[in-house]
Structures are given as C-alpha cells and as structure tokens.
C-alpha cells in the first residue's frame, strides 16, 4: 500500500456533499473525547479534511482544531487557547501526526507530539505523500523515528483497516493499539498484505 496521497485526500475533501460535511462537523462539535487527535500543518488543510473524513468513515472520532473548535483564533495564541488544546490532547486516546512537506513549518506539531508522548506514548505518523508519489516508504526527521506509522490495508475480507507499523514485520491493527497493545513481530511482511 502506498502512502496516503495528497491528491487522493484533497479529492475526498472536495467531493463531500455539503449535508454530509455539516453533519460530520456538528457531530464532532458535540464530542468531549476522541479516539484521535489529528496533529497537522494548517497549510495542509484540504488534505487534512480528506484525512478527517477518511478516519471518521472508518469509525473513529477525530479531533481537528479548526473543525471542532472553529472559534479558536489561530493568529492569536493565548494561554486559554493553549489550555484548550491541552484539554483536547488529554481527552484523545492517541495523537496521529499527518506528516507532510509542510509539517516542519508548524510550531504546534512538536509541542502537541511531545505533550502526548509524555502522557500516553500513543503517537503515530500518517505520512501524506505529494501527489503522484507512489512510494511505500518515507523519510522522517531523527526524532520522528521514535514513532510508528499508519498504513491502510484491506483485511482478509477486503475491508480497509488501519495498521500501526514500526517496520514491515512489526505491526498491529489500530484498534488493538488504541487499547495499549504492543506491536509485535510477525512472519508476514506488511508490505505483502
């Protein structure tokens, strides 16, 4: 399975019926706890919306600041807004970092990642490749080597599942990882699934 493709995610975000988008947004705003805190660069907003849609359709509750807390002023960070983000980080089971070429530009990503890593250690990366890039692997900054990455692979019944992988032979299904289950070595290479 290649990495998530930026064009695929943007296409998802552009092709959502307005009613469906409004329904998803209003349901997210009512939640007080989430499966996933989706950390990202705001420069990737359109692709992140597609990722939000994809993860929500897989059955996960997802926090994205500009969707759930749309009244936050991103241009004026205050102590109160930082406390709200901390509260959202604590009320999320995991942090997934949508890693792209823009990720290094975000001042919030390292702070969010460090905060969750220090509390739950349930952090993983979702690589978002430039459009047309069909690579199966990605490079990352040194400190990001600490974290596993997410792959979407159909199971034996053809149903797409998220997998958390540390290598091609050390992985676990996302739902089990959320329960603090450890990744384990397998005889089957995830790249061959």
- Coil, helix or strand for 75? coil
Model pLDDT for residues 82-99, shown as the tens digit of each residue: 999 999 999 999 999 999
- Coil, helix or strand for 78? coil
The pLDDT score that the predictor gives to residue 20 is 57
Model pLDDT for residues 147-159, shown as the tens digit of each residue: 999 988 887 888 8
How far separated are the first and last CA of the chain, in Å rounded? 8
Chain centroid to CA 36: 7
Look-up: residue for tokens 């390292």?
Answer: 110
The pLDDT score that the predictor gives to residue 1 is 42
- The tokens for 1 are 């399975």
Q: What is the mean pLDDT of the chain?
A: 85
The pLDDT score that the predictor gives to residue 133 is 61
**CA atoms of 67 and 27, how far apart (whole Å):** 10
Burial class of residue 193, CB neighbours in 10 A (0-12, 13-18, 19+): middle
The pLDDT score that the predictor gives to residue 193 is 65
**CA atoms of 111 and 95, how far apart (whole Å):** 12
* Domains of the chain, first to last: 4-139 (3.40.50.10140)
User: Which residues of the chain have a pLDDT value below 50?
Assistant: 1
């Amino acid at each position: 399975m290649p990495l998530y493709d930026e064009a695929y995610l943007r296409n998802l975000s552009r092709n959502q019926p307005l009613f469906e988008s409004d329904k998803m947004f209003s349901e997210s705003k009512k939640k007080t706890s989430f499966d996933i805190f989706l950390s990202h660069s705001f420069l990737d907003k359109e692709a992140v919306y597609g990722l939000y849609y994809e993860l929500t359709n897989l059955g996960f509750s997802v926090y994205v600041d500009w969707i759930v807390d749309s009244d936050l002023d991103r241009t004026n960070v205050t102590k109160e807004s930082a406390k709200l983000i901390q509260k959202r980080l604590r009320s999320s089971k995991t942090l997934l970092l949508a890693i792209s070429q823009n990720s290094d530009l975000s001042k919030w990503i390292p702070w969010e990642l460090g905060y969750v890593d220090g509390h739950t250690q349930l952090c993983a990366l979702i690589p978002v490749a430039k459009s047309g890039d069909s690579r199966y692997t990605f490079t990352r900054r040194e400190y990001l080597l600490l974290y596993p990455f997410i792959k979407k692979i159909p199971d034996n019944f053809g149903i797409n599942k998220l997998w958390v992988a540390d290598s091609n032979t050390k992985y676990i299904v996302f739902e089990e990882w959320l329960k603090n289950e450890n990744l384990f070595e397998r005889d089957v290479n995830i790249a061959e699934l």
